[in-house]
Amino acid sequence: MNSFREEVTAYLGLGSNLADPASQLRRARAEIAGLTGVSERAFSSFYHSAPMGPADQPDYVNAVMAVDVTLDAHELLRALQAIELMHGRDRSGRRWGARTLDIDILLYGQEQLHYEDLTVPHPGMTEREFVLYPLAEIAPAGLEIPGGGRLDDWLARCPKRGLEVLSVD
Predicted confidence at residue 34, as pLDDT, reads: 98
Report d(CA 153, CA 148) in Å as an integer: 10
Cβ 156 vs Cβ 115: under 8 Å: no
Return the CATH superfamily for domain 8-165: 7,8-Dihydro-6-hydroxymethylpterin-pyrophosphokinase HPPK (3.30.70.560)
Give the other-Cβ count within 10 Å of 106's Cβ.
22
Quote the pLDDT of residue 168: 60
Q: Residue 110 has what DSSP assignment?
A: T
Active site residues: 89, 99, 102, 104
Cβ-contact 139, 150 below 8 angstroms: no
Cβ atoms of 167 and 45 closer than 8 Å: no
pLDDT of residue 5: 80
For the segment 96-136, what is each residue's pLDDT rounded down to a tens digit?
A: 678 899 999 999 999 999 999 999 999 999 999 999 999 99
User: How far apart are the C-alpha atoms of 72 and 10, rounded to whole Å?
Assistant: 10
Q: Percentage of residues in the chain with pLDDT exceeding 90?
A: 85
pLDDT at 80: 98
CA distance 108 to 104: 11
Name the residue ranges covered by the structural domains of the chain.
Answer: 8-165
Question: Any bridge partners for residue 165, and if so which?
Answer: 47
What is the structure's pLDDT at 4? 65
Q: Tens digits of per-residue pLDDT, 3-29?
A: 568 999 999 999 999 999 999 999 999
Cβ atoms of 155 and 147 closer than 8 Å: no
Q: How many residues does the chain have?
A: 169
List the Cα angle 59/64/70 in 5-degree steps.
140
Write down the H helix ranges in 34-157. 73-86, 129-138, 151-156
Per-residue confidence (pLDDT) for residue 152, from 0 to 100: 97
pLDDT at 105: 98
Q: Tell me: pLDDT of 95 over 60.
A: yes
